[in-house]
């Protein structure tokens, strides 16, 4: 399609409850939305890099700059008829996966709408897939608060529980959670809190029947993870370390993990996400879809992507009510009591932004002329 206009929005969305990972606590989410217009329709994309680089290297400010000053001049007024064509243009530039993903996901949604198809069909997903989800629970001030959050998540229907861990909030917390919930599907995410010097602690994670241990070691490491995986019974899942299909190939080759979490924002969009999915499928590595506390725009793109066949484990895809009141779309994202989502029945993602809400959360906006 011919892209006639690009708009970029920096939204600051207040969280209903803070979310803490090993590298810091968030009270609101800074997210980048892109609206692409072409051929009489529009598509919205999203990626939330936040306002400080405590997960990846980017911030909402850097992503806004990349979209406005670097990508928009290459995209507006040009035709992109295949995902490869838009990715070839974005691929001239290094890194900046979140900025690329905000724009690239908008291209896919516009493409699906123009073809009159739901996004999952355009992505090559399975229209009968039941997308299952788990909750991700941040570090709290007290263990009791976390135990209450686990119970509330199970009551909502989430299929598994993921607990953020760090030094001082790991084995003792797992004792308490396993003590109270002996049979639930449970996993941990360290967001790179440990090193191989912590091998004694890391070995003890094997005692809790965890489905997986996500990103225990450095955010840019593969080699130490391979050393650790050889020492542990529990599968390691890589998140931060996998930014491309090439990373996934190398991780598989050296056995750095047995599971991969695919985050569309981290990897620069849906085209690379599909490539990672395919590399993992042919290497026998099951995947699931990770999130970054997206609004319902980003979450519904994640739902559509989760229809691919090698997404085999419950994903971190959150209903609107988990983090936001209100969320920015109609309808909002609603999860069933079984912890599942329906795929879109409409062209695109079936969730449309409500303009007044987008406007009320926007701190900065730019549009091409």
- Residues forming the site for ligand OSB (CB under 6 A): 21, 55, 136, 189, 191, 239, 290-293, 316, 318
Residue 189 touches Mg ion, criterion: CB under 5 A: yes
Residue 332 touches which of ligand OSB, Mg ion, none (Cβ within 5-8 Å per kind):
none
* Cβ neighbours, 10 Å, residue 128: 7
Q: Where are the beta strands (DSSP E) in 271-361?
A: 287-289, 329-330, 340-341, 352-353
Q: Which is nearer to ligand OSB, 31 or 344 (CB)?
A: 31
Task: Please state, in angstroms and as integers, the Cα–Cα distance from residue 126 to each residue in 121, 231, 257, 306, 337, following that order.
Answer: 7, 36, 26, 9, 22
Q: What are phi and psi of 176, to 5 degrees?
A: -70, -45
Site for Mg ion in 234-253 (CB under 5 A): 239
Closest CA to 64 of 7, 5, 104: 7
As measured in angstroms, the least distance from the Cβ of 220 to ligand OSB is: 14
CB of 63 to Mg ion, least distance (A): 19
Query: How many whole angstroms separate alpha carbon 231 and alpha carbon 228?
Result: 5
Least distance between ligand OSB and beta carbon 337 (Å): 19
- Answer with the entry of ligand OSB, Mg ion, none that 299 interacts with (C-beta below 5 to 8 A by kind): none
Residue found by looking up tokens 């879809």 in the block: 289
φ, ψ for residue 237 (rounded to 5)? Answer: -110, 130
Minimal distance, residue 58 CB to ligand OSB, in Å: 13
Interacting partner of 292 out of ligand OSB, Mg ion, none (Cβ under 5 to 8 A depending on kind): ligand OSB
Q: Would you say 326 or 366 has its CB closer to ligand OSB? A: 326
- Give catalytic status of residue 233 as yes or no: no
33 vs 75 by CB, closer to ligand OSB: 33
Stretch in the footprint of Mg ion (CB under 5 A) among 42-50, 193-201, 209-217, 299-307: 209-217
Closer to ligand OSB by CB, 46 or 189: give it: 189
Size of site (CB under 5 A) for Mg ion: 3
In whole angstroms, the minimum distance from the beta carbon of 19 to ligand OSB comes to 6
Nearer to ligand OSB, 105 or 191 (CB): 191
Complete DSSP assignment for 195-245:
-GGGHHHHHHGGGG--S-EE--S-TT-SHHHHHHHHH-SSPEEESTT--SH
Annotated active-site residue in 100, 129, 243, 263: 263
Contact 310/279 with Cβ under 8 angstroms? Answer: no
Pick 36 or 259: Cβ nearer Mg ion: 259
Position closest to ligand OSB via CB? 291
Q: Which is nearer to Mg ion, 55 or 107 (CB)?
A: 55
Phi-psi category of residue 214: left, alpha or beta, with phi > 0 → left and psi -120 to 50 → alpha = beta
Task: Give CA–CA dist 297/349, Å, rounded.
Answer: 8
Whether residue 239 contacts residue 189, with contact meaning beta carbons closer than 8 Å, is answered with yes
Q: Would you say 131 and 159 are in contact if contact means Cβ atoms under 8 Å apart?
A: no
Report yes or no: 363 and 12 within 8 Å, Cβ to Cβ: yes
Dihedral (CA of 205, 179, 318, 65) sign: negative
Choosing from 162, 164, 172, 364, the catalytic residue is 164
Nearest partner of 85 among 246, 269, 230, judged by Cα: 269
Q: CA-to-CA distance for 111 and 88, rounded, in angstroms?
A: 17
Smallest gap, in angstroms, from Cβ of residue 142 to ligand OSB?
A: 20
**Partner whose footprint covers residue 293, from Mg ion, ligand OSB, none (CB < 5 to 8 Å by kind):** ligand OSB
Stretch that binds Mg ion, among 80-88, 108-116, 181-189, 295-303 (CB under 5 A): 181-189
164 is catalytic: yes
- Give the nearest distance from C-beta 52 to ligand OSB in angstroms: 12
Binding site for Mg ion (CB under 5 A): 189, 214, 239
Residues identified as active-site: 164, 263
């Amino acid at each position: 399609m011919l892209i006639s206009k690009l708009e970029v929005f920096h939204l600051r969305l207040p969280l209903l409850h803070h979310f803490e990972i090993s590298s810091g606590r968030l009270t609101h989410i800074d997210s980048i939305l892109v609206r692409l217009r072409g051929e009489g329709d529009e598509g919205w994309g999203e990626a939330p890099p936040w306002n400080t680089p405590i997960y990846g290297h980017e911030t909402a400010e850097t992503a806004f700059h990349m979209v406005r000053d670097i990508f928009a001049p290459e995209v507006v007024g040009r035709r992109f008829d295949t995902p490869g064509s838009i990715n070839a243009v974005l691929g001239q530039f290094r890194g900046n996966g979140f900025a690329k993903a905000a724009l690239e996901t908008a291209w896919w949604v516009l493409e699906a709408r123009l073809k009159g198809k739901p996004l999952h069909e355009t992505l090559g997903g399975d229209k009968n897939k039941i997308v299952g989800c788990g909750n991700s629970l941040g570090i709290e001030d007290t263990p009791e608060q976390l135990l209450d959050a686990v119970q509330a998540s199970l009551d909502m229907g989430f299929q598994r529980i993921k607990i953020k861990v760090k030094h001082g909030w790991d084995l003792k917390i797992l004792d308490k959670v396993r003590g109270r919930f002996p049979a639930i599907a449970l996993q941990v995410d360290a967001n790179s809190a440990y090193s191989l010097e912590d091998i004694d602690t890391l070995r003890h994670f094997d005692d809790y029947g965890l489905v997986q241990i996500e990103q225990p070691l450095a955010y840019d490491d593969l080699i130490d993870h391979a050393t650790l995986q050889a020492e542990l019974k529990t599968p390691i899942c890589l998140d931060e370390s996998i930014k491309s299909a090439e990373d996934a190939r190398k991780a598989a080759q050296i056995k750095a993990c047995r599971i991969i979490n695919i985050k569309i924002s981290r990897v620069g969009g849906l085209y690379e996400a599909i490539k990672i999915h395919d590399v993992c499928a042919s290497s026998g590595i099951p995947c699931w879809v990770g999130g970054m506390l997206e609004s319902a725009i980003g979450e519904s793109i994640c739902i559509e992507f989760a229809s691919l066949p090698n997404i085999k484990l419950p994903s971190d895809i959150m209903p609107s009510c988990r983090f936001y009141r209100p969320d920015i779309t109609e309808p909002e994202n609603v999860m069933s009591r079984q912890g599942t989502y329906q795929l879109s029945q409409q062209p695109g993602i079936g969730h449309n932004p409500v303009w007044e809400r987008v406007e009320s959360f926007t701190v900065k906006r730019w549009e091409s002329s």
